[in-house]
Structures are given as C-alpha cells and as structure tokens.
Structure 1
Amino acid sequence: MIGTAPVRAVGLRSWNALRNLGDAVTAWIVRDLLGHSPVAVAADVPHVLGTGSHLFMATPASRIWGTGVLDPRRTLPPIRPDQIAALRGVRTVSALRERGLDLPATVPLGDPGVLVRHLPEVRAWQAEAARRGPRFRAALVPHWSSVGHPFFTGFPGLGDDVVLVDPRDDTLAPLRALLDAEVVLSQALHGLIFAEALGKPSLWIAEGDDPAARFKFDDWYTNVADPPDAPLPFAAVTRDAFGRARPRTPRVDEAALLAAFPAAATGLDAPDLRVSFDLARRVSPHRVEAAGLLHVEPRRLDHLPADEVRRLSGNLDAALAGHYRGWAERPVTLLIRPGWSIPDGLARRLRNFLEHYESGSLAVVSQAQGWRFPDIEGQRWRDWIVVPGLRLLGDALLLRPDVPAALEGRMDTVFVPH
C-alpha cells in the first residue's frame, strides 16, 4: 500500500453500463494503493470520479481525480474549481479553462490507471512474466464497442501467438494478458495507458482518425515522452506493424497524484460492508428469486395499468435496495421466478448479450412459452429469438447495475431454449 491516509470508506462513481476495466480499475487502486474501501454511491452522495472520461458525469457531489474530457464539443455540467483534485492531461485543463474554470497551474496531471504497476497482484504477475518470458508475440486490445469487429476476430495468428484482450472485464485479468505479450496494439485508451505503465511497447491503432474521438488520446499523451502523432489505421495494421510498437514512458508525478486523492471530501459514514466490490464483481450476474413479480405465465407490461406497473417498479426498487444493503457495488442482477431452473451458462450469456445491446433490462422467457405470442416476430440470435421492445415479466429479468429497476423503461425480450 502506497498511501498513508487512515482506512476509510469513500464514495466512488464510474461509467458501468457494461464491464470495462478502464473505468473499473479505480476501485482496485483506491483499495490496494490508498488503503480505503471504495463504495459505489448515487450521484448526490460525495464521491470520486477517477479513471476514464467521466467529466460529463460530474455533479455538485463529485471530486475529480485524474478524470478527463471525452469530447470537447460536448456540454459539461457545472464544475467548481474546488471539485478538481487532479485531471488527466493538459488538454482537459485547457478545455475547462476555456469554459471559464479558474484552475491553478499546480493541478496534478495523470490518469490513475498509470498506477496499476504498483498493485500487488499485478506486481506478482509481472515478476512471473519476467521469469517465464512472453507467451504471445502481441496483444490486441479493441475498444469495448469493437470487440466483434472483423479486424480483431480475423487477425492473423489470433489464438496462436496473438491474444485478443477483451476490455469488457472488471477484474484485473486483462493486465495479466498484457504482461504475457511482447507488444500491445490497442484501440482502447486504457490498453495503451496500461501497456505504457507496465513497460510494454505499444502501438495506437484506430478504425479512423476522428478528431473528437482522439481528444482523450491526445490529452493522455501530453503526459508521455515521445507520444505518437496519430493512430495507425486498421487497414494498415498487419503483423509487420508489431515492429512499430515503441515503449513510451509516462511522465506522471505518481506521488503527487496519490497525494491529491480527495479522501476527506468523499469519505462516508463507515458502512457495514458485507460484500466487497471485487466479490460483487465475481458473483455477477447475481441471482435473486423474485417471488410475486415473475410467474409461470408471462405477463405483458403494456397490458397492465400504468399505476400497476409503477407500483411493481417501486416495489422492485425497494426490494433490491434492501437486498444490496451492505454491498460495496451493485452487480448485474438476474431476477428469477421461483421454481425456474436456469440452464448452465445462461446467466453469463445473458450478461454478455446485454453488454452488446441498448436495452435497460432484458426479459427472459423459455421458448416453450412462445405459443402464447403468435403475433410476435423476433430476430434470431444464435439459438435465441430476440424481440426488441417487448416488455414481459416471464421466467427471468436481467437488470443493469447503472439504472434503476424501472419497469416503465426500455426493455427487450429473449426467448431461450429450455
């Protein structure tokens, strides 16, 4: 542990619409390097915004620690100078000053993701990799939205001496994969930040070169010696490009970044934590039996009175709030009707599907129930039938951690073999 502050619970917020280590790593840094207990909190509770381009999420209760601007053209919420503990890079500082924010010249700079090399688990993996030597010639890191892109799925040598590192992960496992490779080619910003922090030669790659999309990269690279001028387009990336990867040294004052952590402003009354953030992530999707809400015979929410739907939604929110009291973080929740035996592996497949999809929640119904909906036309996805916009209460209901359990919201239905 690098930090010297006393242990305390601190509020934390991040973008968690899906698993993404670049956003999720702050919790590991807060616990293992600073010695605090991170607790995911609501937007109006004092909290830290850490790794990622999260300034658009800021509220009056936020304290910004190494966060950056995502798109300089995008409107930002009001932010006070006293909310800024550290920022990702010079370009974020300039963007905020252009909006009239009076920031001191001494504000610490750097993405906290650069600190991952100090995490105990990562240090052990790094020592192991140094003894054993690399297992792969290269690691490819897509942006989470490009995981299924043909460039990555069809890359020569994939599964042999090239490893695809899926960033949709809220554990530290992707860092181990990076350590196992000689070089790192990354479309994701944090794939590059982690590679540079771990001393791996890296190459920035992209499908195109959109100035707005590259802002966060240019912002980070104000902290790096010998930054690249531009990404290498997918069309130009072959195995020969591995030789273009270069080690790049972050010039971040790590001691100043750690010292700037706003523990005092984001401390919580010591909660009685029963489930730590990493355990919550390991059990995701977490199964909860939903007696009284889900039934053998599916119900269409659109056929229920609006007052009844609001009542069911309020009851569900209250029940989940009680269930997750004492959890440091709410995972993806899989509500299951009593008596329904979920097939092996289905819960994780549902979570993976939801992470590709726009829906706020996902209703799950056995295909054996399909005869009840003769007027419904769906789309086949592998061995499932997907019906966008169909709002059902059936065998199960999958809920994201980042949205309330509002049954009035966007919902899609999948019919699964059973």
Structure 2
Amino acid sequence: MFLSEKIKRKLSFSQPLEAVPAKELNFNHVHLYYWKPLDGSQNFGDHLSKVVVSKVLADRNHLLEEETKKQRTMLGIGSVIHFAKDNDVIWGSGVNGKVDVSEHTFSTLDVRAVRGPLTRQFLQNRGIPVPEVYGDPALLLPHIFPGRFRKDPQKRFVVVPNLHDLKIVKTLRLENVISPILGWNTCVEEILKAEFVIASSLHGLIIAEAYGIPACYIRFTQTENLFKYNDYLMGTGRGEVEFATSVDEALEMGGMAAPQFDAGRLLDAFPIDLWEK
C-alpha cells in the first residue's frame, strides 16, 4: 500500500531536527536563572552560575533537569536580584547598582546566601530576612573542582575586561587580554596563567582571588556601578574597592588584600532541599 502524499510530507526529514525550538520541561523542576547576552554569546561570569550549581548538585547525586516536588526558580551568581519574583530562592546573588529600586518587584524571597552585606542591607530594608552568609559562588571553584584547575604562571599579567568594556579594550590594543565571552573553562585556565590579574570583570577578579592570584580592579569606563565590587569586597572581609585607570597604574598599585571566605558556610547554605523529595 502506498502512503498518501500528506503522510509522506509528515514523515519527511527535509526540515532539520535542530530547527524545532526547545521547550520548557513539562514537569515540576528548579529553574536556574542567570543572565545571558541577547546575541546568544556567553558571558563567562554569569555562565559560572550554571557550572557551579550543576557541579554542587552532581556531587550530591542530583541534576538540574529532574522532577521536584514543587516548581521553583533559583538565582545564583550575578547581579540579578532585580529579576527575582516572589518566593524565588537566592544563593549568592547580588543587587545590581545600575537598576532602579522600583524595578525590584518582589515582596518576599527565600534567601540562603547573598554576595555581600550591601545586598543583605538592601533586602532587609524591604523586610526580607537574609542570613549573614556571604560569598560569590564562583569562589567555590577550587573546592568543587579539586585538581581540575591549577596555577601555571606564564605571564606577568593578564587583563580581563567586563563585557561592556570589550570594545574600548580593543581600541587600546592591550597585551594579554582575556575575552569574557570565551568558554568558562578557557577563561579560568587563562587567568591562572598570570602572576597578576587586572580586571574590570568582577569574575575576573573573583577567579584570580579564588586561586590566590593578586588582582586589581581597573576602571576603563563609568558603565559599571561600583556597588557590586564593594558588595563583593565587603562580603570577603574588606572595605570599599580602590581602582586603577590604566594597566601601568594597576601594576603600580598591586593586588587587593586577600579575601576572607568560608567555603563551608556557603556550601552548607546551598538549597539542596529544593531537589529532595
């Protein structure tokens, strides 16, 4: 029996399978929100949220894409709290100083840890309970990937620009620039090849300090609000950030004081209960 033309068309593979858009999971799960550039690229610091959360879960015999008792949204790494909705779970996120207070539309959050005390104060001022557990989860990389990444000093310094500084850095023709849109593992590996890290990327600074490499904040433009840098520094036992405005000045200034960070407290605050039935 011959198939009808209509059925033949339905069975045709002339349309590529990858053209079918991916759909949201059709069962209760924990959605991890993290910021992504609109052009489809990856900003390594924000993408580390997925990397860190996935690894912490795997170490506890869970995965992101599994059925859970309730549908929840979790926010990890990044200045993304203004994207949160009521009852979302916060683990290490921070406030974005560029975003107006009115854009924070939530009235209640389930906060397990925040990036630093400035974010904690912001949320407490809105009547939201926040434990005094600080730290950007990217600081956990040496603890959750033991032996995976090692310091391999090959360069006197590297420069890690914030995503918004990429264009201006290209015009300056600086040496040893690490683009934040490279793969997350490549960014980490390249940072660890430096004796000194000069960065306007917050996570350029964080990865350097996580592995004991001295780092200095360089301010190429006024685009980024100082809030997130101060929040991170204060959350790791230091004061307000000081910055250089050129590579030469950064080299002269040297690295910031070493961070004080309790990896165990941040890991203990991880919301594993969201996955446990």
Q: Specify the TM-score bucket, using the shorter chain as the normaliser.
A: 0.7 to 0.9
| Map of 1:137 onto structure 2 | 156
Check if 1:21 corresponds to 2:44.
yes
Residue segments in structure 1 that go unaligned for 5+ positions in a row: 1-8, 270-418
| Map of 2:89 onto structure 1 | 63
| Map of 1:80 onto structure 2 | 108
Contact 2:160–2:177 (CA under 8 A) maintained in structure 1:
yes
**Structure-to-structure mapping, 1:9-48, within 5 angstroms:** 10-17=30-37, 18-35=41-58, 36-39=62-65, 45-48=71-74
Kindly indicate whether structure 1 or structure 2 has the higher relative contact order, using CA contacts under 8 Å at least 6 residues apart.
2
> Shift of the alpha carbon at 1:174?
0.3
> Shift of the alpha carbon at 1:39?
4.1
* Structure 1 counterpart SS, 2:156: strand
| Map of 1:92 onto structure 2 | 119
> Shift of the alpha carbon at 1:193?
1.1
> Shift of the alpha carbon at 1:188?
1.0
Change (3 A) 1:204 1:69: same
Q: Pick from 136, 139, 147: which aligns with 1:123? A: 147
- Rounded to whole Å, the distance in 2 between the matches of 1:39 and 1:250 is 34
> Shift of the alpha carbon at 1:209?
5.3
Which runs of structure 1 show a deviation greater than 6 angstroms over 4 or more consecutive aligned residues?
Answer: none
| Map of 1:183 onto structure 2 | 196
Q: Pick from 263, 277, 280: which aligns with 2:272? A: 263
Contact 1:34–1:258 (CA under 8 A) maintained in structure 2:
no
**Structure-to-structure mapping, 1:105-254, within 5 angstroms:** 106-120=131-145, 123-126=147-150, 129=152, 134-150=153-169, 153-155=172-174, 158=175, 163-208=176-221, 213-227=225-239, 229-234=241-246, 237-238=247-248, 241-246=250-255, 248-254=257-263
Change (3 A) 1:264 1:66: same
Contact 1:114–1:194 (CA under 8 A) maintained in structure 2:
yes
| Map of 2:16 onto structure 1 | none
| Map of 1:284 onto structure 2 | none
- Rounded to whole Å, the distance in 1 between the matches of 2:164 and 2:276 is 34
TM-score scaled to structure 1, two decimals?
0.52
> Shift of the alpha carbon at 1:249?
2.5
Change (3 A) 1:136 1:51: same
> Shift of the alpha carbon at 1:243?
4.0
Letter in 1 for 2:34: S
Letter in 1 for 2:147: R
Contact 1:45–1:61 (CA under 8 A) maintained in structure 2:
no
- Rounded to whole Å, the distance in 2 between the matches of 1:66 and 1:233 is 29
Contact 1:185–1:205 (CA under 8 A) maintained in structure 2:
yes
Letter in 2 for 1:215: F
- Rounded to whole Å, the distance in 2 between the matches of 1:152 and 1:142 is 13
- Rounded to whole Å, the distance in 1 between the matches of 2:171 and 2:52 is 29
1:102-153 Cα distance to aligned partner (Å, 9 max, x none): 425x431111111112243x733306x2xxxx11111101111221214665
Change (3 A) 1:248 1:55: same
User: How many residues are treated as equivalent by the alignment?
Assistant: 239
Contact 1:11–1:268 (CA under 8 A) maintained in structure 2:
no
Letter in 1 for 2:95: V
Change (3 A) 1:125 1:256: closer
TM-score scaled to structure 2, two decimals?
0.76
- Rounded to whole Å, the distance in 2 between the matches of 1:228 and 1:53 is 17
- Rounded to whole Å, the distance in 2 between the matches of 1:77 and 1:204 is 31
- Rounded to whole Å, the distance in 1 between the matches of 2:87 and 2:238 is 37
More strand by share: 1
Measured on the aligned residues, the alpha-carbon RMSD in Å equals 2.8
**Structure-to-structure mapping, 1:382-393, within 5 angstroms:** none
State the percentage of identical aligned residues.
26
1:201-237 Cα distance to aligned partner (Å, 9 max, x none): 1010112457x71111111110234446432124xx3
> Shift of the alpha carbon at 1:169?
3.3
Change (3 A) 1:94 1:16: same
